[in-house]
Each structure stands twice: as structure tokens, then as C-alpha cells.
């Protein structure tokens, strides 16, 4: 069974920074794309950033230049550095990963970590 656990959320003031991380554990063969999504109250979950197993990065327009995604393949970990935070960045941030097992390729989600930006 594959598990994904996020950490690093919290409360930060306008303009501040946070770093959220997720780690994949369990029995799997490979991790492909890893992504960060967020969901604010009353809104749909949206893609924030994604990184391929080769290191290619994709960002939502709303976070370009402020957020940076990275991964450590040796540690099965992905990070999202959040800088110049705004109140509209307040949301639950979820990590996901495409993971291959003996049974195929699956999308695995974490439980989410709350990021709150105060003005």
C-alpha cells in the first residue's frame, strides 16, 4: 500500500514564506509526476504546481514567480516553497503522485496541510 503524507503548513503573515513537503512511502516501483493542488473554502481544487520525474516544472499563473516546486527522488519527497504569500493563497494544500506498483499506475493523494495567510 502506498501512502503520501504532507507537512509544513501553518499560519503566516502577508508577504511571508512557507515550505510544504510530502513524502511517498510503502510498496511501489516508481514515482512519476508529483503535484501540489489547493482547495479554498467554497472553491474547487486547483493545480498549483507539478514536477515530472525528469524535473520539468509547471505552475499555475497565479503562483508563477512566487512558488517553487522541487523533488528529491532519492527520498521520495516533493517540496513546495511558497514565497510572497497573499491572503488568496489561503487553502488546504494537497500533494499527489503518480505511482507505479505491480498492479499498475495509480494516483495517490495526501490528507492535505492547511496554509493560512493573514493580512
Q: What is the pLDDT of residue 59?
A: 98
Q: What is the pLDDT of residue 36?
A: 98
Cβ contact 95:35 at 8 Å: yes
Q: What is the pLDDT of residue 89?
A: 98
SS (H, E, C) 66-77: CEEEEEEHHHCE
Q: What is the pLDDT of residues 48-57, one digit of tens each?
A: 999 999 999 9
Q: Beta strand 113-118 with 10-13: parallel, antiparallel or unpaired?
A: parallel
Q: What is the pLDDT of residue 104?
A: 95
Q: What is the pLDDT of residues 39-80, one digit of tens each?
A: 999 999 999 999 999 999 999 999 999 999 999 999 999 999
How many residues are recorded in the chain? Answer: 119
Amino acid at each position: 500500500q502506498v501512502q503520501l503524507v504532507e507537512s509544513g503548513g501553518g499560519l503566516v503573515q502577508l508577504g511571508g514564506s512557507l515550505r510544504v513537503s510530502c513524502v511517498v512511502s510503502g510498496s511501489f516501483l516508481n514515482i512519476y509526476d508529483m503535484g501540489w493542488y489547493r482547495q479554498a473554502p467554497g472553491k474547487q481544487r486547483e493545480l498549483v504546481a507539478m514536477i515530472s520525474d525528469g524535473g520539468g516544472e509547471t505552475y499555475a499563473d497565479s503562483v508563477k514567480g512566487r512558488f517553487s516546486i522541487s523533488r528529491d527522488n532519492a527520498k521520495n519527497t516533493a517540496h513546495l516553497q511558497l514565497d510572497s504569500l497573499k491572503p488568496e493563497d489561503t487553502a488546504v494544500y494537497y500533494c499527489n503522485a503518480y505511482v507505479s506498483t505491480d498492479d499498475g499506475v495509480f494516483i495517490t493523494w495526501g490528507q492535505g496541510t492547511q496554509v493560512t495567510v493573514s493580512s
